[in-house]
Amino acid sequence: MFNLSPLYDLWSTPYGKTAYSIAVGTIGSVILVAFINMVLLPAYSLNFLPLVIAFNAALTGYMVLEKTREFFQRKWTVAILAGLTMTLLTFMALLAFFMHTTGLYLLGLPHLLLMLVFGVGSSWFGGVLAINYFKLN
């Protein structure tokens, strides 16, 4: 059989928990956009893309700080970088998704910039919520 203990050891480190949080946000964004594409045409689903990115980036910013707690000194910076990474990975995954489903590149530089603004701002907000929640407890 396979020895998966090194993989479990990797996910238990603070960096592994950060990567897990980013992966959850990215996969969640792709699943939500795929669901919206089942209901709407792909060109119309782009209107909902900033909302999907904002929700999942806030989730990522909160989850990173919740899982790592006291490990990182600059918590807001970690939350913002996690949201930025999640947004870039989501953009690349959606670019491939739309190319595969429609045969067209539906996302461009304006979409990327809009996604980055919403992603970074929302992940900062998720980080602020996490920090304030930790101060209450």
Could you read off the pLDDT of 83-131 as tens digits, one per residue? Answer: 999 999 999 999 998 888 888 788 889 989 999 999 999 999 999 988 8
**Tokens matching residue 11:** 């996910």
Per-residue pLDDT tens digits for 27-77:
999 999 989 988 988 778 888 899 999 999 999 999 998 888 888 788 888
**C-alpha to C-alpha distances, 91 to 26, 112, 132, 133, nearest whole angstrom:** 9, 7, 30, 30
**Tokens matching residue 78:** 């970690």
Band the pLDDT of 10: cuts 50, 70, 90: confident
Cα dihedral across residues 4, 10, 12, 16: positive or negative: negative
Contacts of 123 (CB under 8 A, 6+ apart): 57, 58, 60, 61, 79, 80, 82, 83, 84, 86
Interior angle at CA 133, CA 58 and CA 65, nearest 5: 50
pLDDT given for residue 27 in this prediction: 94
pLDDT at 11 over 90: no
CB 91 within 8 A of CB 56: no
